[in-house]
Structure formats: structure tokens, C-alpha cells
Structure 1
Amino acid sequence: MVKWRILVSTAVAALTVAAWGTTAEAAPTVPPGDGAVVSPSVVGGSRATQGEFPWMVRLSMGCGGALYSPNLVLTAAHCVSRTGTNTSITATLGTVDLQSSSRITRTSNYVYRAPGYNGNGDDWAFIRLSSPVTTLATLPIATTTAYDSGTFTIAGWGANREGGAQQRYQLKATVPFVSDSTCNSSSMYAGQVIAAEEICAGYAAGGVDTCQGDSGGPMFRRDASNAWIQVGIVSWGDGCARPNKPGVYTQVSYFSSSIRSAASSLGS
């Protein structure tokens, strides 16, 4: 069964977030036709160091995100319910330890979900923060396909094994690009991947992957100037780190014009 990488149990999300000292939003609705379990942290990863990926964001509904601008978090459409005013989401930033006394928190004031999202592609969204975060670096997005291959970095606070618990400390890992043709082969996803707007990454042997709770988080790599650039958004996968079941990510470059236009309209 294809699983979105977000926690769908309100009780689990509430208990987990309560332990972090933030307020949980009710878990979002699972997309049509899916009985998914929300994802945990990175499988097969190691602990990230403080300040290593300063743009990483943890969202109270059990998702991840990246700081696109001081007041906008780029995440997955399946993490939010609709476009409109929303003051119920808490974003935690500036720390790898979600219990750190130095963590930064902001509430949301608006959500923008990709127009036309219906659970099949178009899996991106913005969460606008109630006030800007000016002390952290933001993560630029890829605007061409030039960086949509190679080796990528993934990070998050999701489960570190399929069916596992959400993590207190941010984990990171690297995963290789998997071509559309390979990812859509009969041994992998048999045509389920939308080649134009999704990108696959992972090992044929499995063992390293994003998981429930990592939904909406960034997949990123270095650009030609050795700066970090976001190429993907954690979207879905069959289980976590299973052989021949790589992670599937929203291909940011495909949506870059729409993302930038939406950011402008939201006052980024």
C-alpha cells in the first residue's frame, strides 16, 4: 500500500507534540483512496548537528518543511487541509533537538495549498508564519532540472523505522537519484510515479529513506556554487526503506514558477 509520509493518528500526533511543548493541529485528512500512516523520521540516518541545516522546520501536525523565506515554510500539500486562514499550526525551528530551550516557535496565520491538489501530484503547499524568522538561513529552490540527479540529502524528525516513533533529534541521510523509468518499472512502482512532477531517490536494497513524519520536508543537494538547494519535497512511498521502494518526492523544479508566484502573493 502506498503511504503518505505524514502521521494520521491525531492521538499520536498530539502526544508526540505535547512532549515537545508545542500545540498540535488535528492531523490532516488522508488523501482520497489512501489509508496511510503518517511518517516517522529518516530511516538509516545519523543525527544532524546543530546548525547544519538551519532551514529545517518541524510542523505540529506531524510533518516537516523548509524555511523558504523568513515568513514562509514550504511543505507538502497532503500535510494541510485547504487554502485559507489557519492559526492552528505551530512551527518549530532553529534546533535539532525539539525539546531544546533555545528552539524558535511560530504559529501559522495562513495556508496556501497547491491549486488543483487532489491527492495525485501537485503535492506542495506554503504555511505563512505569524511573524518572520530573521535569524535563520532560508533554503532556495531549484528552478531548472540541472540538479535533479546525483546524490541528495534528506533530513527530518520522522520515524527511524517503518512503524516506529517520531524522533526528538533530527536525523539525516543521503540517497541516490533513481530515474523515472527505473522507478516506474514493474519491480518498483509500476507506473504510479508522475514522471513530470515527481522524483525518486533511494537504494534498490532499501535501508535508507524518509518515513512517516518526514512528509513535507526538503530533499536537497549542493549546487554549482556549493550552496544548498532544494530539489524535492517528501511526498510518499510504499512503506519505509523497503527494497525496490525508493522515496517519491515532489519535483520542485517542475513547480518552481508556481511556487515563486505563490510566495510573492503571500508577501514573501
Structure 2
Amino acid sequence: MHLGNPLRWTASFGTVIRPPKSRRSVRNIIIHEKYTNTILNHDYDIAVVQLSSPVEFTNDIRMVCLPEEFYVFPHNTTCFVTGWGPSINNLRQAEVKIIDTNICNRAEVYNGAITPGMVCAGYLEGKIDACQGDSGGPLVTEDRRGIWYLVGIVSWGDECAKRNRPGVYTRVTYYRDWIAAKTAQD
């Protein structure tokens, strides 16, 4: 996938798009080498962005930690997904639960389409979900110590909030080594 010149991209921070609390230009975009933008293959749906300068953390701009590659977020873990959705100015948040991969791969759900690099979250009854425009957004959870971890990245789903069609996210632990390799300090 080609995103054009990274210098034409900017990253906005805060809870509203206009005006953002902070903005940085993008120095580089690194897309996973095995990613193919096809409707039938959602594997390797991950990229990292190198910003032109560091971001200062505030009450509206917070850090999220990367979990270790071996960490397992169990079935029914409470998570939050945030996104802008289709053309809204205020960041929105939804509470969802992790759904075990074996359940998500059942015939009536995604029929075996969930691979090890993916994690499902939402509700089998539908009603609450990420949607178009949220792609690339974070799926996070808080541990007992109050530390927030990035569980997943909004990737795909069958429409939005439909019965037996929970959201599917890129599983961050699966790509932890790749992320570390691409973000290593020189």
C-alpha cells in the first residue's frame, strides 16, 4: 500500500479535531512488509508513524503502553475503543469486551477468518462497536495498577454493531517484536 509522501501527513492530538490540542508533522510511515490491501486478507494490518518531534503528554493527550508479546488478554476483558467515526469533531469512546478467538471463529460468527494476529472485541448481540472512520484507532485496557495498555488496533468487521459480527482488531502482542524493531532508537 502506498500512502504518498509522509511529509504531507500530519498527526493531531486531543479530543477534538478542530482545533486539535497539538499537531505534529509526520517524518515517516512504516507499513508492515507483508501487508496487502485486499478485501479477503486482513493479516499484517499494522503500521508505525515516526513524528517530526516528540509529543507532550497532558490531561487530554496520554501515553499508552505496549504489552509484552507473551501477555494474554483473557476473554471478557473490558476494553475501550476510541475513534472519530464518520466525520465528527469530538472523539468518541465505546466499552467493549474481548471475545475469545475460538468463539469468534465459530461458523455463525467469522467462520475461521480470525488468525493469530487478530483479536475480536465487542458483543455477539451487536449494538456497540467501532465503525468506518475508526480504523487505526486504539483498543485499550487498564490494569489493576491503573496502567493503560494497547490491546489492538481497529482493523475490520462486517458492517457495524451487527449480531455475531464483533469488531476485529490487529492483535498488538502478536506484532510486538515487529513494532520494537521498527521503533528502535538509533
Coarse TM-score class (shorter-chain normalised): 0.7 to 0.9
2:153 matched residue in structure 1:
233
The residue type equivalent to 2:25 in the other structure is T
Moved over 3 A (4+): none
Map of 1:181 onto structure 2: 102
- SS of equivalent to 2:102: helix
Task: Report the Cα distance in structure 2 between the residues aligned to 1:200 and 1:227, rounded to whole angstroms.
Answer: 22
The number of residue pairs the alignment matches comes to 177
Amino acid corresponding to residue 64 of structure 2 in structure 1: L
| 1:192 aligned residue | 113
Q: Deviations over 1:201-229 (max 9, x none)?
A: 11111110001111111101012422110
1:34 alignment counterpart: none
Who is 1:49 aligned against? Answer: none
Q: 1:254 to 1:224 in 2, by over 3 A?
A: farther
Unaligned 5+ residue runs, structure 1? 1-79, 160-165
1:172 aligns with 2:128: no
Q: Which residue of 2 aligns with 1:155?
A: 82
Higher relative contact order (CA 8 A, sep 6+): 1
Opposite residue 153 of structure 2, the aligned amino acid is I
The counterpart of 1:123, out of the listed 18, 31, 45, is 45
Distance 1:127 1:170 in 2: 20
Q: 1:146 aligns with which of 69, 72, 91?
A: 72
2:54 corresponds to which letter in structure 1? P
Structure 2 equivalent of residue 137 of structure 1: 62
- Structure 1 SS opposite 2:7: coil
Report the Cα offset of residue 99 of structure 1.
1.7
CA distance in 2, matches of 1:254, 1:215: 18
Q: Does 1:264 align with 2:181?
A: no
Could you tell me how far apart the structure 1 residues matched to 2:91 and 2:6 are? Answer: 26
Displacement of 1:133: 1.2
Q: Deviations over 1:50-108 (max 9, x none)?
A: xxxxxxxxxxxxxxxxxxxxxxxxxxxxxx626x9621111110x212223x6211111
Are positions 1:210 and 2:130 aligned together?
A: yes
Aligned-residue offset at 1:138: 2.0
Task: Check conservation: 2:120, 2:169, Cα contact below 8 A.
Answer: yes
Structure 1 window deviating more from structure 2 (183-192 vs 84-93): it is 84-93
More displaced stretch, 123-132 vs 247-256: 123-132
Cα deviation digits, residues 2-39 of structure 1 (max 9, x gap):
xxxxxxxxxxxxxxxxxxxxxxxxxxxxxxxxxxxxxx
What is the CA–CA distance in structure 2 between the aligned matches of 1:242 and 1:210, rounded to whole Å? 11
- Taking only the aligned residue pairs, the percentage that are identical comes to 33
Counterpart pick for 2:27 among 93, 104, 109: 109
Q: Residues 27 and 52 of structure 2 are in contact (CA less than 8 Å); yes or no, is this contact kept in structure 1?
A: yes
Aligned-CA RMSD value? 1.9
Gaps of 5+ in 2: none
Moved more, 182-191 or 232-241: 182-191
For residue 12 of structure 2, what is the amino acid of its counterpart?
A: T
Assess if the C-alpha contact under 8 Å between 1:204 and 1:244 holds in 2. yes
8 Å CA contact 1:85–1:111 kept in 2: the answer is no
